[in-house]
Amino acid sequence: MPLKTPFRQYLGQLQLAGASVPPGLQDLLVSLTNTCVTLSDEVAQGALIGILGSAGTGNVQGEVQQKLDVIANDLLIAGVQSCQSLAGIASEEIEDPLPVGKGVGDYLLLFDPLDGSSNIDVNVSIGTIFSILKKPNPNAPLTTADFLQAGRTQVAAGYVVYGPQTTLAISLGEGVDLFTLDAVSGEFLLIKQGVQISESTREFAINMSNMRHWAAPVKRYVDECLAGSGGVRQKDFNMRWIASMVADVHRVLSRGGVFMYPWDQRDPKKPGKLRLMYEANPMGFLVEQAGGAVINGVDTILDLQPQGLHERVSVMLGSKEEVNLLRQYHAAT
Ligand code: AHG
Ligand code: MN
Ligand code: MN
């Protein structure tokens, strides 16, 4: 498809080319991404429109909400209300699923409305992560159980990163394509099709301040990266940590690398920090579609059967060689 094809036309052309992008899914994706354009404009104005700082409230997970967490959540919910094909919404910021209209329709939408909350007030990249599932029984009343599907069943997943450019990454199950927001037309324009993550890399991403709390396989892996060309890996590694999963994963999609937010001993009963259904699964879907891998240490994340909407999971994703090594180190313990 020609570069700079607007997102709406791209969806229509995919459908014409034989991909399964029914009109109801197109409508949902266009409404969702249009809302992200509005959100991008608000993010860009920051303090000028009073959107920075804490909201003074907590969410379902006991985390302090920033004003922008609440604004993004409200905007996204309002932005998809007119989609006839959408039955319900699940969000990081709300405990139970929200029916759309009568709660009937073909699709379910899950999102992390604002990822990277700790970066909002310091003008570092943040984003929105989304996942779309089919509703198992479109005409039955909406239930939480409808959402509890393994990541592999996603019909679409993606993110929008609000950085130096506003970029949309999306997969409909046939590769990953990238779009950049054109400020003039207010539309996402195609910039790359068929993103591929290199199999090998010299770059890893992890919050090193948690090192003393990690499990032995993760510690071993990172120690070996740090040992550089004189160690068993026989190459020097670089490290990056943006603390916005969207921005870290965008870097992995762009130039390879491995991203980890593993289980650690700070709160041993928690499987991890990141949420399975609206962080790890959509990002994992993109990473696998781009030729990378995604595990919780032992298992492939997209095969996990979710037990709850807000379930947490240990995450290791990116370049295959590194993820395979992490899997091997976990299997050896
Ligand atoms: P959210 O802002 O949606 O709560 O997610 C933040 C997540 C993720 O984006 C990032 O990778 C991680 O938290 C950063 O955590 P640390 O501050 O512990 O490094
Ligand atoms: Mn997040
Ligand atoms: Mn969030």
Q: Which residues of 276-288 are buried (b: 16+ CB within 10 A; e: fewer)?
A: bbbbbbbbbbbbb
Q: What is the pLDDT of residue 213?
A: 98
* Domain span holding position 118: 7-192
Asked if residue 198 is part of any domain, the answer here is no
On average, the pLDDT of the chain sits at 97
How do residues 274-321 score in pLDDT, each as one tens digit?
999 999 999 999 999 999 999 999 999 999 999 999 999 999 999 999
Residues 214 and 321 in one domain: yes
Longest dimension (CA), the chain: 62
Residues 247 and 188 in one domain: no
Residues 181 and 54 in one domain: yes
| 128-133 mean pLDDT | 99
Residues lining ligand 1, CB < 6 A? 92, 112, 115-118, 207, 243-245, 261, 273
> Phi and psi of 295, rounded to 5°?
-135, 165
Single out the residue in 192, 221, 247 at which a domain terminates: 192
115 CA from centroid of ligand 3 (Å): 4
Residue identifier of the C-alpha nearest atom 14 of ligand 1: 243
Asked if residue 176 is part of any domain, the answer here is yes
Residues 255 and 287 in one domain: yes
| 43-53 mean pLDDT | 97
Asked if residue 39 is part of any domain, the answer here is yes
Residues 108 and 246 in one domain: no
Single out the residue in 130, 162, 192 at which a domain terminates: 192
How do residues 207-261 score in pLDDT, each as one tens digit?
999 999 999 999 999 999 999 999 999 999 999 999 999 999 999 999 999 999 9
Coil, helix or strand at residue 215? coil
Q: What is the pLDDT of residue 144?
A: 98
Say if CB 168 and CB 193 are below 8 A apart.
no
Asked if residue 1 is part of any domain, the answer here is no
Q: In sequence order, what are the residues at sequence separation of 6 or more whose Cβ sits closer than 8 angstroms to the Cβ of residue 155?
A: 20, 25, 107, 132, 133, 134, 172, 173
Q: Please state the separation of Cα 209 from the chain's center in Å.
A: 23
Using a CB cutoff of 5 Å, list residues around ligand 3, an ion: 92, 112, 114-115
Asked if residue 2 is part of any domain, the answer here is no
Residues 134 and 215 in one domain: no
14 CA from centroid of ligand 3 (Å): 30
If you search the block for the tokens 């870290």, which residue do you land on? Answer: 248
| Domain count of the fold of the chain | 2
Asked if residue 280 is part of any domain, the answer here is yes
- In CATH, what number is assigned to the domain containing residue 77? 3.30.540.10
Q: What is the pLDDT of residue 79?
A: 98
Q: What is the pLDDT of residue 62?
A: 83
Residues 42 and 172 in one domain: yes
Residues 178 and 288 in one domain: no
- In CATH, what number is assigned to the domain containing residue 210? 3.40.190.80
Nearest to 297 by CA among 232, 220, 218: 218
Q: What is the pLDDT of residue 63?
A: 85
Coil, helix or strand at residue 129? strand
> Phi and psi of 90, rounded to 5°?
-125, 135
**Confidence at 129, pLDDT banded by 50, 70, 90:** very high
Asked if residue 255 is part of any domain, the answer here is yes
Asked if residue 197 is part of any domain, the answer here is no
* pLDDT at position 268 over 90: yes
CA-207 nearest atom, ligand 1: 19
How do residues 85-121 score in pLDDT, each as one tens digit?
999 999 999 999 999 999 999 999 999 999 999 999 9
Single out the residue in 192, 218, 247 at which a domain terminates: 192
Q: What is the pLDDT of residue 207?
A: 98
| 143-172 mean pLDDT | 98
Say if CB 142 and CB 133 are below 8 A apart.
no
Say if CB 321 and CB 233 are below 8 A apart.
no
Residues 117 and 172 in one domain: yes
* pLDDT at position 59 over 90: no
Q: What is the pLDDT of residue 60?
A: 82
Q: What is the pLDDT of residue 272?
A: 98
Q: Six-digit token pair at 46?
A: 């920051």
Percent of the chain at pLDDT exceeding 70: 100
**Confidence at 1, pLDDT banded by 50, 70, 90:** very high
Q: What is the pLDDT of residue 333?
A: 85
Residues 297 and 319 in one domain: yes
Q: What is the pLDDT of residue 228?
A: 98
Residues 209 and 184 in one domain: no
**Confidence at 75, pLDDT banded by 50, 70, 90:** very high
Residues 230 and 294 in one domain: yes
